[in-house]
Structure 1
Amino acid sequence: MLYLLASDAVHGGHVTLLNLLRYISFRAGCACLTALGLSLLLGRPFIARLRQIQRGGQPIRALGPERHLLEKAGTPTMGGVLILIALSVSMLLWGDLQNGFVWAVWLTTLGFGAIGFMDDYRKLARRNTDGLSKRARLGGEFAISLVCGVWLQSMMPPDLANQLAFPFAKDLLLPLGIVFPAFAMIVITGFGNAVNFTDGLDGLAIGPVIIAALVFAILSYLVGNHVFADYLQVHAVPGTGELAVFCAALVGAGLGFLWFNAPPASVFMGDTGSLSLGGALGSLAVAIKHELVLCIVGGLFVVETLSVIIQVSWYKRTGRRVFLMAPVHHHFEKKGWAEPKIVVRFWIISIVLGMCGLATLKLR
């Protein structure tokens, strides 16, 4: 909204401070601070309202680590709503609302958040850990992801629209043809659920999401700028620079939420938060043609998901478990690691993976 005001002022020949709003870097910084401020301002009354409505808080699964039944009982969920509110208000203020990439990623984020909200609501209403059926949940995720994939594809340059780019080879593109929307669907849905698997300890999921969003803010800005893209020999996607504002708002909203989610958590993000954040990262990666880089930057989410797949498949085949418990962060809990130690060490891993993702810009 403010960006459009600045554009009108410039076109009208007025030279004012509004000219600053034409710069993505300035608006990204403002979006981050706005989302952070809103999260901190609304957080306490929002959590108090959640406690009043939910009373018993998030249902804790009986098969989880035993201490969770004692230490986390009564903690409210659906904190992802706070993230989405801060993100959306910030985007409405600082984003270019005429940019199609922004709308595609933003609506995908909200769509995944809506599915997560319905899942959380059903768990709370039934007072158990059974939310939406797997068929209904995945069906909704696949539908939203497919629409997003087709939408993003329609806005890309024709020579890139159906291609998969490789991070370590500047000229290597894999033509996916009509399969590209299905590929985008798998990436977006996969990361939506990967972040969901990771969300099991206080602060565990939101930390790596903030790191990944920060990395993709940089990547979006560079990919959307022809000069930087040519210098770094990455494939330019005009218009995606505006996604840096979205990423910055996501960083701010995430930091504000972490203030209340840090151990011991006052609120959980729930599926409302984890699905929406994963969907946001997946759609961002598809938009800027960095799907494989997301697998590096979000490597922690990939490992958490693989641990679940390995555990389930091996148990069905042999009747034995590979891990003491899956996802893998619960394995370390079972081994006696303190929760803050697991969270901080996983954050360190995420920071290293984020730097590796940025390093792909020069390793071409």
Structure 2
Amino acid sequence: MFFLINQHLNYDYHSLTCIIIRSILSLLTSFFFNIYIGKFFINCFKKLKIYQIIRKNGPKTHFLKKNTPTMGGLFVIISILTSIILYSDLSNFYIWSVISVLIGYGLIGFIDDYKKIKCNNSKGIPLKWKYFWLSIVSLIFEYSIYIYGQNITPHQFIIPFFHKIVLHINYFNIFLSYFVVVGTSNAVNLTDGLDGLAIFPLILLACGFAFISLLTGYSDYSDIFNIFYIRNSSELTILCASIAGSGLGFLWFNTYPSQIFMGDVGSLSLGGSLGAIAVLLHQEFLLIIMGIVFIIETISVILQIISFKIRKKRIFLMAPIHHHYEIKGLPEPIIIIRFWIISFLSVLIGIASIKVH
């Protein structure tokens, strides 16, 4: 829509100034739209009794949240898509690539949440089938990049702090990127266990990638900051801004004590989308740095499983690690804020890894 208006005004739609303006408008639109429809969804979910299913073996304090609505990721996705339609160039390959992951993973998460609510248990889709469908969407995304995106983006990725080292991995990139997209979606899903714990790091991560994509899309700036230039990738700035704005709108309702939870429909779709953005920008390693909170949470689960299977002993009182601190008696708001601080610092470190040429 904004694109059509600019055609009549004869204005450079892809200029740096216009990209920044559209990004700000995208963030504000998705934020206020989320605020506007959020209360409606919360009331609607309460009437339909779409409540969070609490794990029986989880922390006892979580049973106080059993009447809290879930599947809030639905209106997060709606606000993101609305913002993208209004302000992005819909002919851009990168935009549709990320949208496909957002909708695909959102659909899988929706089915998973629906099954949990219908069956009144926390299992949802069987794990093997869940990973199967996540893998299918990821592989389609990767294949489309290889087939349709090969003329606009090379199959390379960059190592933070060592920008002179650019790895050319060709076909192996499909499998590596698969693990990035699927892994990020599940890492966010594991982290989404406390009020606002996952959404704020996602907002910071989206802001970090908005900055990176802005620099990457312009050859002059990519040369100055010694970042690999990727033609037309600056359009991802608008998409990242819409994710950040929608996340802020959701955080309005998700702060402690939460009025609604994201559900798998939100955590899988947002995590997968940011993983896809990292792949498109060739910044898979930077995702590890800026998303360190999600990495820590995932590693804590892996270590717990390995330790219990080999030693028959647990490393943590409960995994993911935020539950460990809960059981130790640390108040939930303190755990959340400290994880937010770690996430904020990790994004700053990630941006600092960009060396001025």
Q: Secondary structure at the match of 2:302?
A: helix
1:262 to 241, 255, 279: 255
TM-aligned CA deviation for residue 318 of structure 1: 1.1
What is the CA–CA distance in structure 2 between the aligned matches of 1:142 and 1:83, rounded to whole Å? 23
What is the CA–CA distance in structure 1 between the aligned matches of 2:255 and 2:271, rounded to whole Å? 19
> Structure 1 residues 203, 107: CA separation in 2 closer, same or farther (over 3 Å shift)?
same
> Structure 1 residues 153, 230: CA separation in 2 closer, same or farther (over 3 Å shift)?
farther
Residue by residue over 1:191-212, the C-alpha shift from the partner in whole angstroms, topping out at 9 and shown as x without a partner, is 0000000000000000100000
2:68 pairs with 1:72: no
Asked whether the equivalents of residues 154 and 161 of structure 1 are also in contact (C-alpha less than 8 Å), the reply is no
What's 1:6 paired with?
A: 6
RMSD: 1.9
1:50 to 36, 45, 49: 45
| Superposition map of 1:24-173 within 5 A | 24-54=19-49, 57-69=51-63, 71-154=64-147, 161-173=154-166
Residue by residue over 1:150-209, the C-alpha shift from the partner in whole angstroms, topping out at 9 and shown as x without a partner, is 223446566962223211222212222211111111100000000000000000000100
TM-aligned CA deviation for residue 264 of structure 1: 0.5
Letter of the 1:299 partner, please give it: I
What is the CA–CA distance in structure 2 between the aligned matches of 1:26 and 1:169, rounded to whole Å? 32
Asked whether the equivalents of residues 153 and 231 of structure 2 are also in contact (C-alpha less than 8 Å), the reply is no
Q: What is the aligned residue count? A: 357
2:172 to 164, 173, 179: 179
What is the CA–CA distance in structure 2 between the aligned matches of 1:138 and 1:153, rounded to whole Å? 22
2:328 pairs with 1:335: yes
Letter of the 1:72 partner, please give it: K
Letter of the 1:40 partner, please give it: I
What is the CA–CA distance in structure 2 between the aligned matches of 1:344 and 1:172, rounded to whole Å? 36
Letter of the 2:302 partner, please give it: I
What is the CA–CA distance in structure 1 between the aligned matches of 2:15 and 2:353, rounded to whole Å? 31
TM-aligned CA deviation for residue 20 of structure 1: 9.1
Residue by residue over 1:78-119, the C-alpha shift from the partner in whole angstroms, topping out at 9 and shown as x without a partner, is 000010011010110011101010110111111111100000
2:288 to 284, 295, 299: 295
Residue by residue over 1:18-52, the C-alpha shift from the partner in whole angstroms, topping out at 9 and shown as x without a partner, is 99998110000000000001011111111000111
What is the CA–CA distance in structure 2 between the aligned matches of 1:307 and 1:7, rounded to whole Å? 51
Q: Secondary structure at the match of 2:171?
A: helix
What is the CA–CA distance in structure 1 between the aligned matches of 2:284 and 2:221, rounded to whole Å? 19
What is the CA–CA distance in structure 1 between the aligned matches of 2:153 and 2:97, rounded to whole Å? 18
Residue by residue over 1:42-72, the C-alpha shift from the partner in whole angstroms, topping out at 9 and shown as x without a partner, is 11111000111125x1110011001111x21
What's 1:244 paired with?
A: 237
Residue by residue over 1:333-361, the C-alpha shift from the partner in whole angstroms, topping out at 9 and shown as x without a partner, is 01110000000000000000000010011
Unpaired stretches in structure 2, ≥5 consecutive residues: none
Under a length normalisation based on structure 2, what TM-score does the superposition of the two structures give?
Answer: 0.96
TM-aligned CA deviation for residue 73 of structure 1: 1.1
Identity %: 38
Unpaired stretches in structure 1, ≥5 consecutive residues: none
> Structure 1 residues 159, 122: CA separation in 2 closer, same or farther (over 3 Å shift)?
closer
Q: Secondary structure at the match of 1:172?
A: strand
What is the CA–CA distance in structure 1 between the aligned matches of 2:130 and 2:284, rounded to whole Å? 23
